[in-house]
Amino acid sequence: MRDWAAKHRWESILIVVLAATIVVNVSLSPFYLGFGNFVNLFWLSIEKIIVVVVMTFVIINGEIDLSVASVMGFSAAVMATLYEGGEIPFALAILIGIAVGAIAGLLQGVVITRFGLPSLVVTLAGLIGFRGAARVLLEDRSVGDFPEWFERIGQQTLVGPFPVALVLFFVGLALAWVILERSAFGRKVYVIGNSADVARFSGIEVDSVKLRLFVASGAVAGLAGILFAARVGAVQGTLGETYELDIITMVLLGGVSIFGGSGSMLGVVLALFTVLNIRNGLGLANIDGITQTGVIGLLLIGSVLVPNLAQRYRLRRPRAEAVANGPP
């Protein structure tokens, strides 16, 4: 137990924070421990948490994708426009929506790998451009009145009392976990994140790995946009705006290094649980969304700052002793 905690310092911190959050939440509201609240917790953020999983790969790989929220909006807008046109079956419109997300990712991935540009810059252009494309399609309209099965897609129970979206999320998460930490592809993601040059000289096909991750990121963002549309029952050009910050915050809070090369799926899952529980608890205590975001921001900074300061304090003491004893 102690060995595990020493090796997984970040995860241990998160477990403590999560436990504290749960204890506080339970004392705050009698509804908290209900099954309905548990399902709500995930369902109300489903579009964010599925993107968090793929963003973990992208950041460990040493890149970033700021465009995810705009791609969400764009995919949903494409789907909604096709539905409105009414010329093709709705199911096909959904598939095209997801495919458009994948193409958006491919486009950005090609520019990043082909020209060697920083992904921060390219996906910033994507953030602005794809949001613009969504607005071009929908202007300031809101498209709704989707078929009933679509609006119930996530809440339909599948296994026992668990809704489809939740089951899908956990299956996807398990899959992502295996790929990241138990497969050759996952090892490559880490190696490239540590040093793209070393990876290249070791014969790893760096560009191809990166490209695949950006395509995956776009496709998952597209899927997230469509799930979001299903959840709220309407699509607007502004769908998902500014979600990228929330998504990246959850990944970084999970202990994934912004410089790439380190981080674990366990950490990200714990961070995800923590953020959802904090928001849920604050929501039950009637604290508004902006303040919730502030608390998450504070937690993000604190989670890096506190261990840093603690380490510095620990390093300083032995050094002071060494100085007192004089040079060996």
Partner 1 sequence: MTESAAVAPTRNSRFLRPERVKEATLLGIIALSVVVFAFLIEGYLSGRFFNRVTTSVVVVTLLAAAQALVIFSRNIDLSVGSMVGVAAYLTGDYLTATGQGPISALIVAIVVGAVLGSVNGLLVAYGGVPAIIVTLGTLALFRTLLSIYSEGANVLAGDLPSWVLEFNNVTLFTIAGFEVRLVFVIAVVVVVGLQFGLARLRWGRRIYAIGSNPSAAAQAGLPTSSLVFWSFVGSGALAGLAGFMFLARAGTISATAGAGLELESVAAAVVGGVSILGGSGTMVGAFLGAVFIDTLKLSLVRVPEVSEFWRDAFLGILILAAVILDALLRNRFNRRWSAEARKAMEATGPTAAGMARMAGGGGTADA
Residues that bind partner 1 (CB under 8 A): 66, 111, 115-118, 120-122, 124-133, 135-136, 139-140, 237, 242, 245, 248-249, 252, 258-259, 288, 290-291, 293-298, 300-301, 304-305, 308-309, 312
The single residue listed with the structure tokens 């046109």 is 85
Q: Which residues contact 17 (CB under 8 A, 6 or more apart)?
A: 274, 299, 303
Residue 89 or residue 294: which is nearer to partner 1 going by CB? 294
CB of 306 to partner 1, least distance (A): 10
The single residue listed with the structure tokens 């705050």 is 28
Radius of gyration of the chain (CA): 22
Residue count (the chain)? 328
CB of 40 to partner 1, least distance (A): 23
Residue 74 or residue 190: which is nearer to partner 1 going by CB? 74
CB of 143 to partner 1, least distance (A): 15
Residue 66 or residue 270: which is nearer to partner 1 going by CB? 66
Q: Is 126 exposed, middle or buried (0-12, 13-18, 19+ CB in 10 A)?
A: buried
Tokens of 228: 């979001």
DSSP state of 264: -
CB of 8 to partner 1, least distance (A): 20
Q: How far apart are CA 14 and CA 256, in angstroms?
A: 13
Q: Where are the beta strands (DSSP E) in the chain?
A: 142-143, 157-159, 162-163, 235-236
Residue 71 or residue 165: which is nearer to partner 1 going by CB? 71
Residue 189 or residue 253: which is nearer to partner 1 going by CB? 253
CA 9, 12, 14, 17 torsion: positive or negative? negative
CB of 290 to partner 1, least distance (A): 4
Element (H, E) at 25: helix 9-28
CB of 130 to partner 1, least distance (A): 7
